[in-house]
Amino acid sequence: MTCPVGPPHHSGPQLKLPMRKLPTISGKKLIAALKRDGFIEVRQKGSHVSLQKITPGRTYKTIVPLHRELAKGTLLDILQQTELEKDDLIELL
């Protein structure tokens, strides 16, 4: 008996590129990378630094903890807030 599922959905040929691993970095190193991308330090409260980048279409804001090693989830959240890809971050480091 076959399953009543249609053909696989493909939008065309796709090139499979290897995914780069997310680097393990400190908060200070991430702040330096974000500054190279145009972010500025807005303020610091304790061990957390607020950064922002103003573009014509949008203002990006994020908070970076000054930890020796950022948790992967924290780093992914910051990348999402800043709309940076992993590869962009690696280039900025």
Region class of 38: left (phi > 0), else alpha (psi between -120 and 50), else beta: left
The encoded tokens of residue 93 equal 């480091």
Residue 36 has pLDDT above 60, yes or no: yes
Assigned CATH for 27-92: 3.30.920.30
Give residue limits of the domains in the chain.
27-92
pLDDT for residue 32: 97
Contact by Cβ (8 Å): 39, 82: yes
Each residue's pLDDT tens digit, 62-87: 999 999 999 999 999 999 999 999 99
